[in-house]
Amino acid sequence: MPKSNKVTDLFSTKRIAIPIVIGFLVAGYMLWGNTSWEELSKIQFSVEMFGWLFVAILMMVIRDLAYMYRIRVLTDNFLSWRKSFDVIMLWEFASSITPSVVGGSGVAMFILNKEKISLGKSTAVVMVTALLDELFYIVTVPFIILFIDTQHLFPIELSKTVFGVTLSTKEIFLVGYAFILLLVTLIFYGVFVNPQRLKSSLVKLFSIKILNKWQNKIVRLGDDLIQTSVELKNKPIQFWLKSFGATLASWTARFWVVNFIVLAFTDVSSHFLIYGRQLVMWVILLISPTPGGTGVAEFAFNGFLQDFIPIGLTGLLVVLWRLISYYPYLFMGAFVLPKWLKRVG
């Protein structure tokens, strides 16, 4: 099947409906089971409350503007602000309707290519975007840990069995962080040091019997690394400072959404701790099998952040969080897609 058809199938009504239905079911459960109507009736609606909720929405606007700026930098300003908006909205749309473990990277390359960006450059943009996102995480986690006690980072106990070993929440986080660190190291080596050698080593590793069914994908990954290296190896320092600065702004704004939602309903004693717990949540959401982490995200929010939420209002805040940070991309993507398809042909 041609890739264009695959992408059209991805954006089908069925694909869009699945996360919406799951989301509404989970939202209904949260509002019914985790919201006290007595406490809800006590909420004092005020200018301050709506002010903080407006700031939470503003954080998502800043996040998207930072992403748009980054995609312009990464494409050497080939994309206009208008086209950058379409690309980011469709990229987020794809991520919202695919499982977190899959993501929207493949669709992103198609979208960029349809914007008349060469396949090699599209591959490089998507790969360096992933690199910058993971680098943000690697840098931020140690910084946050300097300000908070790690024993407060893991308020709930989850367990997951991996290769016969049962891991706790803290161990899942540490394994996830180690995996991200390894991934960034490999991509950095492949892009900036020796892509040919990394490709050869990976192909050789995946030639063993237990791994050889993935060998073709590894060959394509190696080719992508080589293309990315050609595109990015000689970029000036300003290029990387702008790109990482935009990444830092976008992710920080994304996490601050929760801080401002909580501030709308109660005082916050430790913004760093809320921020830190979201970093832990992010690792959990990376292994979510549901579209856009729907269902998993809501329960993770309840588990990790309930210490900061007034008793009886957890369900309400979970729903507000998803309404601000997730559902707009579903509706915006569905709105942008037809016009974009008509424009790019």
Is 194 inside any structural domain?
A: yes
The yes-or-no verdict on residue 16 having pLDDT over 80 is no
CB 135 within 8 A of CB 184: yes
Question: Which range marks the domain in which residue 65 is found?
Answer: 46-288+329-344
pLDDT in tens, 77-94: 999 999 999 999 999 988
Does residue 101 belong to any structural domain of this protein?
yes
Whether 233 is in a domain gets the answer yes
Q: What burial letters (b/e) apply to 161-191, b meaning 16+ CB within 10 Å?
A: eeeeeebebebbbeebbeebeeebeebeebb
DSSP 119-138: HHHHHHHHHHHHHHHHHHHH
Gap between the Cα atoms of 215 and 296, Å rounded = 31
Highest-pLDDT range among 100-114, 169-183, 196-210, 246-260: 246-260
Q: Using DSSP, state whether 166 is helix, strand or coil.
A: strand
Residue 21 resides in a domain = no
Q: Is residue 178 part of a domain?
A: yes
- Alpha-carbon dihedral angle through residues 261, 263, 266, 269, given to the nearest 10 degrees: 120
Does position 1 have pLDDT exceeding 70, yes or no?
A: no
State the burial class of residue 130 (Cβ atoms within 10 Å of its Cβ: 0-12, 13-18, 19+).
middle
pLDDT tens for each residue of 51-80: 999 999 999 999 999 999 999 999 999 999
The answer to whether position 226 is within a domain reads yes
Give me the number of domains the chain comprises: 1
Q: Which two tokens stand for residue 231?
A: 């595109």
Say which residue, 117 or 246, is predicted with more confidence.
246
With cut-offs at 50, 70 and 90, classify the pLDDT of residue 307: confident
Whole-structure pTM value? 0.86
What is the pLDDT, as a whole number, of residue 324? 92
Q: Using the predicted structure, report yes or no on whether residue 173 has a pLDDT greater than 70.
A: yes
Rounded mean pLDDT, 194-206? 85
Instruction: Please report whether residue 318 resides in a domain.
Output: no
In a domain, 301, yes or no: no
